[in-house]
Structure 1
Amino acid sequence: MTVKVSVVIAVYNPGKYVEDCVSGLLRQSLTPDEFEVFFVDDGSTDETPARLDQLAAEHPHFHVIHQESSGWSGRPRNTGIDAAQGEYVMFHDHDDWLGDEALERMYAYGRANDADVVIGKMAGIGRSVPRGLFRINRPRVTVENAPLMDSLTPHKMFRREFLTEHNMRFKEGRRRLEDHVFVVEAYLRAKSVAVLSDYVCYYHIARDDGANAGFQRFDPVGYFNNLREALDVVEELTEPGPRRDQILGRWLRAEMVERLRGKRFLKNPEDHAEKLYREIRGLLTERFGPGVLTHLAPTQQVVAGLIIADLYEDIRALAAWEVRIKPTGTLDSLEWENGRLNIGFSAEYEVDGVPLTFGRDGERDLLELPLSDEAREALAKQGITLDAPVDDSDVDLVIRHRENAAQYYLPVDSAPHRLDTADGSFRQRITARAVLDPETAAAGVPLTKGIWDLHLRIKSCGWSKEARIGAVHGEDVEAGRLAALTGEPRRLVLPYWTDGPGNLSLDVDQHTGKLERDAVMLVDPAAAVVDGGTVRLPLPLHVAADAGDPVQLRFERKNAGALSADAVVDGRTVSAPLPLEKLTGMRWAVRIGVPSAARGEAKWTRLPVDVVVDADGKGRVIDRHTPPASKRAPKPAPKKQSAPPRPLWRRAAGRLKRALTDQQKKS
């Protein structure tokens, strides 16, 4: 059988971190004869070479190539390309891992769309990954019609014949941005690029020892010299004009301007910050024309203009002010409707806890930035205005898995609003409504079991910042924060407040025991009754009208077993016949059985009520925290009234008598 995919992994002293990489490869849904793996050991000095040799002996489709250390990942990747026999070549770092179906899905998607390059959705655990690129599947795209330039890491599939045709190889030696050079050339030469966004293919990991190569502080001189090599590729493969300016704008934005903003800039030691600034300014004035600046957001254009004008102190002052900008949000409404959770919210930026404001000049909306008169004059000479396109502001609501960082955008309708302030400026607040369907939220498929956190992201004038939602919420929100049964087979989806901040998260398929906590909060024992031979209990969840009777009910007593009852659900009430003859004379705990798709059976949750059937056969419902009569503490006896304290003169006389007695004994 022809090998479909060759996975190439440059390896250097990964230690224990290679095990997650290996496990992901062993779990692949492609059969071992459909893919091959090349671990290229670049002179490791730890136990890794022996571990890789052992793996290769156990798995015939695993291969190990040992070579002298080259100092970086370019040469081992090239060695892997030369050895590969697959139709596609997939590059993989030794401390990351693949989704279980990654190779199969990416290969099939690339074949279906005749793609030279296939980009699988990435999730970042402790690291940033492209977000907007993976909003939707993109079967046939280019740098002009999709944000491909946001993803320049090599963790992609490349058609091997495509690499051979253009003799594409990584730059070798100890260097930075060799992946940028390789990937941008691939983008510009490819007939088609396919972006697969409905499945997380690649998990990009920040090691807990902080030893990822990309996290190490770099020498600005070498770094920006390496960046020039990527710019050379663009200039070789494109003509001057808007297309080239658009592509170059990616490096000006991400590698230069953004390095001089906010916390990212200020966290550098002063000497390194100045050296970084000087190298960026030299490259900007050398290689980037005015047309490239037009592809930046307004605040990014301002920083670029300050760099050109060599106003370092203004850049630092602006960065210090931007650090204080925070996104905030209010959860305004929460309601289940036909198995979907409707989420109403609003968001805006604040500075030091006060809403961020914008200025007005006639019909113009202006950024109110802390700039010196010299800076404003320099920007004006360059044609850079402080216009604020606030009408283009937007907000997203993202749901992200807490353990594996898989994230998906929810459908959102939003509208920006201007709120006038007393001094003639205005603030902007964005109201929005999102729909969360647990059965389609993961790019058309159900959310997997686990905890999913909700994050809002505000985009305005070049700021893009993220915050949790829910800690601030309206008075009516709690009433709508119910669990619901969704999907087929049914499973529980529970919106809940996180401990501490009280942010909104989802527990999908009873990953935690929070349903019982909610039952205590939401089920009023006074609303539970026994009517004749039937018990009626309030439910701590929303059940859709067409859900049938998915909840089970049973009565339990220690050392007496459990008795099940046929439950009937009506709205938020569950009813069941009481087998009185079997319950008589005892007190029974009540549990509801809620479906769990992952378990394949009901998971039982105790309600905050007990059923008591008296000796005469009459039943009643009580709060489960009420102790049995036999164990109730006896009424405490009234305290003895203590005698009033002795008068002061009597106490003084007693001390004097004791002193005289002691003196007599001594004499």
Structure 2
Amino acid sequence: MPVKVSVIVPVYNPGAYIEECVSSLLRQSLPPDSYEVIFVDDGSTDDTPGRLDELAAEHPRITVLHQENSGWSGKPRNVGVEASRGEYVMFVDNDDHLGDEALERMYDYAVANDADVVVGKMAGQGRGVPVELFRDNHPRATVENAPLIDSLTPHKMFRRAFLDRIGLRFPEGRRRLEDHVFVTEAYLRAGNVSVLSDYVCYYHVRREDASNAGFQRFDPVGYFKNLREALDVVERYTEPGPLRDRLFRRWLRVEMVERMRGKRLLGLPADYRKELFREIHSVVVERFGPGVAEGLPPTQQVVAELIAADRLDAVEAFAEWEAGIVLKAVPEGLHWVDGALRVSFAAEYHSGGAPLTFAAAGGGEPLRTAPENVTEAIARVSADTLSRFGTAAADLLLRRRSSAAQYFQPVQFTRETVPTEDPSRFRLVLRATAAVDPAEAAGGAALTGGLWDAVVRVRLGGWTKECRLAPARGAERPTAPAAVTAGHVVLPYWTARHTSLALDVDRASRSLGLGRLTPEGVTVTGGLLSVPVPLHVPGETGVSLRLTAKGRVLEVRGTLAPAPDGPGSLLSAALPVASMGGTIWRVALAPVPDSPRPRVLALPFALHSGAQGVRARRTPRPGPLRRLVRKARALFGAARR
């Protein structure tokens, strides 16, 4: 079979971190003979070379190339490209890993859209990754119609013939930002770029010891020398004007302004801070015209203008003010509607423990000159943020705790300008309601088992910030019952540690509320069992009851239907009275009986079948050892959540 994809992995002293990378590559859903993995060992001094050679001997799809250390990832990637046989090449770093279907999905997407480059959705485990780029699938993306320029890491799929045709390879040697140079040219010269956003293809991982190359402090002179080479690529393939300014704005915003803001700047040693500022100032003055900074949000405009004016003192003072600004989002409602969880919240920025307020005068125009002092800078930002409030937006994302995969949920929101005691100042509040449908909340697919955290994301003025959804101190937390929906049991709950909203999918048992059932609420009439239970269902749902007594087990089919006069549902089942005999039966509920591994939840009542029919009674108390086991399980489950 022709090789569809060649995965190229530059390797240097990854230690144990390479194991998950290797495992994910061997788990790929593509047939083993349709892809290859090329590890290029760049002079590792740990035991990795031997480990890779063992893998290559065991798996025909794996090739290992050894070379002397080259100093960075550019040369190993180029060596891998030259050795590759695939129609497409995919670059993976040795401490990251892929989703199990990543290669198959990205390759099929590339073929379907005749793409020279495919950008697969990323999840950051302790590392920042683009968010807006992966809001939706984008089969025909360009630097003009999509925020491609936000993703300049090399972890993408490239058509090999495209790279050969334009002669594109990575800059080599001991240098930084070789991926910026490579990816930027690929974007600007590709016939088509496709963005795949409905499946997490790439997991970008921060090592526990933060020893990833990208986290090491760099030499500002060398770093910004290399950055200028990426700017050269933009100048080579674009004309002066709005598009070039917009592309340049990415480097001004991410590599310069953001390094000069808030806690990120203040955490740097004073001498290094000055050296970094000096190099950034040089690039801004040499390479960027006024149109580059004008497109920035107000807070970033202020910092950019202060950098251009060579005002490090004012930049530091402004950073002190910005460092105290945080996003807070408080819940206002939580309830199920037709199988979807409606999550309502209010979000606004705070400073010094109080809501941030904004001045009403002026704003909205590009900043033409640097502010005289930090007081003027704050006043400009305040007025400008208020004037642009009509563009503010709020989102709710679900983020899987085990993998950091995250997905936007449908949201409707309103913008409220709230007066304060000072008639010249206002609070800016976003009120939103998100609809979380477990059947399609994971990028159109159903949520899978595990814990999912609710994350609020707000774009307002010059800030894009995220926070967990949590009630104000002492405020009541809205609650919603667990639901049986989309083939899963979904429990909304408030975490014990951070008191923030999360979803437990197919894990919870004792916290589902079933323990509150009593025999008095159970009726059995003519062999028909009827029990109100605190579980939401969008409509009549098939379930199973398991009855156990003295080594015997009876499986009984039943239904959950929405309660006619309130929340929760009604459990109904026709009992096999003739088979039950005169004994006591423990009862357990399988809410999703047709799943591959159905969960069985014990109910706190038993059924006594006797001469007078079937009656509900309290479950016989377990012995001391069984009580101890149950308590340990409950404590362990609570700790994990």
The structure-2 alpha-carbon separation of the partners of 1:92 and 1:612, relative to structure 1 and needing over 3 Å to count, comes to same
Please report how far the alpha carbon of residue 484 of structure 1 lies from its aligned counterpart in structure 2 after TM superposition.
Answer: 2.3
Matches within 5 A, 1:11-90: 11-90=11-90
What is the rounded CA distance, in whole Å, between the counterparts of 1:376 and 1:321 in structure 2?
A: 10
Partner of 1:542: 536
Partner of 1:419: 418
1:275 aligns with 2:275: yes
The residue identity in structure 2 corresponding to 1:400 is R
1:602 aligns with 2:593: no
Q: Deviations over 1:181-237 (max 9, x none)?
A: 111111111121111111111111111222111111111111111111111111122
The residue identity in structure 2 corresponding to 1:248 is F
For normalisation by structure 2, the TM-score amounts to: 0.89
- In the alignment of these two chains, the number of paired residues is 611
- What's the Cα RMSD here? 2.9
> Quick check: 1:519–1:608 contact (8 Å CA) kept in 2?
no
1:515 aligns with 2:514: no
The structure-2 alpha-carbon separation of the partners of 1:542 and 1:233, relative to structure 1 and needing over 3 Å to count, comes to same
Partner of 2:544: 552
Secondary structure of the structure 2 residue equivalent to 1:250: helix
Q: Deviations over 1:56-88 (max 9, x none)?
A: 222222111111111111111111111122211
Q: Deviations over 1:404-442 (max 9, x none)?
A: 121110111111101100012110111112111212222
What is the rounded CA distance, in whole Å, between the counterparts of 2:378 and 2:406 in structure 1?
A: 39
Secondary structure of the structure 1 residue equivalent to 2:145: coil
Please report how far the alpha carbon of residue 261 of structure 1 lies from its aligned counterpart in structure 2 after TM superposition.
Answer: 1.0
Matches within 5 A, 1:584-603: 588-595=585-592, 599-603=595-599
The structure-2 alpha-carbon separation of the partners of 1:179 and 1:584, relative to structure 1 and needing over 3 Å to count, comes to same
Matches within 5 A, 1:458-473: 458-472=458-472
Please report how far the alpha carbon of residue 386 of structure 1 lies from its aligned counterpart in structure 2 after TM superposition.
Answer: 7.0
Secondary structure of the structure 2 residue equivalent to 1:123: strand
Partner of 2:570: 573
What is the rounded CA distance, in whole Å, between the counterparts of 1:273 and 1:524 in structure 2?
A: 66
Partner of 1:642: none
Please report how far the alpha carbon of residue 518 of structure 1 lies from its aligned counterpart in structure 2 after TM superposition.
Answer: 2.2
Range with greater deviation from structure 2 (577-586 or 140-149): 577-586
The residue identity in structure 2 corresponding to 1:493 is V
The residue identity in structure 2 corresponding to 1:259 is R
What is the rounded CA distance, in whole Å, between the counterparts of 1:10 and 1:214 in structure 2?
A: 14
Q: Deviations over 1:306-335 (max 9, x none)?
A: 212232232222222222222111222222
Q: Which runs of 5+ in 1 are unaligned?
A: 629-667
Partner of 1:239: 239
* Equivalent of residue 494 in structure 1, options 473, 478, 491: 491
Matches within 5 A, 1:27-426: 27-361=27-361, 374-375=373-374, 388-424=387-423, 425-426=425-426
What is the rounded CA distance, in whole Å, between the counterparts of 1:79 and 1:526 in structure 2?
A: 74
The structure-2 alpha-carbon separation of the partners of 1:561 and 1:385, relative to structure 1 and needing over 3 Å to count, comes to closer
Q: What is the identity percentage for the equivalent residue pairs of Structure 1 and Structure 2? A: 51
The residue identity in structure 2 corresponding to 1:605 is L
Secondary structure of the structure 2 residue equivalent to 1:345: strand
> Quick check: 1:306–1:378 contact (8 Å CA) kept in 2?
no
What is the rounded CA distance, in whole Å, between the counterparts of 1:62 and 1:620 in structure 2?
A: 65
Please report how far the alpha carbon of residue 576 of structure 1 lies from its aligned counterpart in structure 2 after TM superposition.
Answer: 3.7
> Quick check: 1:365–1:390 contact (8 Å CA) kept in 2?
no
Please report how far the alpha carbon of residue 527 of structure 1 lies from its aligned counterpart in structure 2 after TM superposition.
Answer: 3.1
Select the structure of larger CA radius of gyration.
1
Partner of 2:632: none
What is the rounded CA distance, in whole Å, between the counterparts of 2:137 and 2:33 in structure 1?
A: 28
Please report how far the alpha carbon of residue 566 of structure 1 lies from its aligned counterpart in structure 2 after TM superposition.
Answer: 4.4
Secondary structure of the structure 2 residue equivalent to 1:567: strand
The residue identity in structure 2 corresponding to 1:409 is F
Secondary structure of the structure 2 residue equivalent to 1:221: helix
Partner of 1:647: none
> Quick check: 1:358–1:365 contact (8 Å CA) kept in 2?
no
> Quick check: 1:608–1:625 contact (8 Å CA) kept in 2?
no
Secondary structure of the structure 2 residue equivalent to 1:282: helix
Please report how far the alpha carbon of residue 170 of structure 1 lies from its aligned counterpart in structure 2 after TM superposition.
Answer: 1.0
The structure-2 alpha-carbon separation of the partners of 1:605 and 1:287, relative to structure 1 and needing over 3 Å to count, comes to same
What is the rounded CA distance, in whole Å, between the counterparts of 1:114 and 1:580 in structure 2?
A: 64
Q: Deviations over 1:547-568 (max 9, x none)?
A: 3xx22223445x4544444434
What is the rounded CA distance, in whole Å, between the counterparts of 2:364 and 2:166 in structure 1?
A: 49
The structure-2 alpha-carbon separation of the partners of 1:416 and 1:379, relative to structure 1 and needing over 3 Å to count, comes to closer
Please report how far the alpha carbon of residue 342 of structure 1 lies from its aligned counterpart in structure 2 after TM superposition.
Answer: 2.1
The structure-2 alpha-carbon separation of the partners of 1:627 and 1:213, relative to structure 1 and needing over 3 Å to count, comes to closer
What is the rounded CA distance, in whole Å, between the counterparts of 1:379 and 1:454 in structure 2?
A: 31
Please report how far the alpha carbon of residue 609 of structure 1 lies from its aligned counterpart in structure 2 after TM superposition.
Answer: 3.3
The structure-2 alpha-carbon separation of the partners of 1:625 and 1:325, relative to structure 1 and needing over 3 Å to count, comes to farther
Please report how far the alpha carbon of residue 140 of structure 1 lies from its aligned counterpart in structure 2 after TM superposition.
Answer: 0.9
What is the rounded CA distance, in whole Å, between the counterparts of 1:524 and 1:466 in structure 2?
A: 43
What is the rounded CA distance, in whole Å, between the counterparts of 1:468 and 1:134 in structure 2?
A: 20
Q: Deviations over 1:140-160 (max 9, x none)?
A: 111011000110000111111
What is the rounded CA distance, in whole Å, between the counterparts of 1:355 and 1:526 in structure 2?
A: 50
What is the rounded CA distance, in whole Å, between the counterparts of 2:513 and 2:198 in structure 1?
A: 35
Secondary structure of the structure 1 residue equivalent to 2:600: strand
What is the rounded CA distance, in whole Å, between the counterparts of 2:600 and 2:444 in structure 1?
A: 30
What is the rounded CA distance, in whole Å, between the counterparts of 1:11 and 1:322 in structure 2?
A: 39
The residue identity in structure 2 corresponding to 1:305 is E
What is the rounded CA distance, in whole Å, between the counterparts of 2:527 and 2:58 in structure 1?
A: 65
Partner of 1:659: none
Please report how far the alpha carbon of residue 477 of structure 1 lies from its aligned counterpart in structure 2 after TM superposition.
Answer: 3.2
The structure-2 alpha-carbon separation of the partners of 1:619 and 1:21, relative to structure 1 and needing over 3 Å to count, comes to same
Partner of 1:660: none
Q: Deviations over 1:432-479 (max 9, x none)?
A: 12111212222222222222211110110011111111445986832x
> Quick check: 2:72–2:175 contact (8 Å CA) kept in 1?
yes
What is the rounded CA distance, in whole Å, between the counterparts of 2:52 and 2:622 in structure 1?
A: 62
> Quick check: 2:358–2:386 contact (8 Å CA) kept in 1?
no
The residue identity in structure 2 corresponding to 1:246 is R
> Quick check: 1:388–1:461 contact (8 Å CA) kept in 2?
no
Q: Which runs of 5+ in 2 are unaligned?
A: 563-568, 624-641
The residue identity in structure 2 corresponding to 1:464 is T
Partner of 1:505: 502
What is the rounded CA distance, in whole Å, between the counterparts of 2:301 and 2:590 in structure 1?
A: 59
Q: Deviations over 1:615-635 (max 9, x none)?
A: 76476545559899xxxxxxx
Range with greater deviation from structure 2 (578-587 or 45-54): 578-587
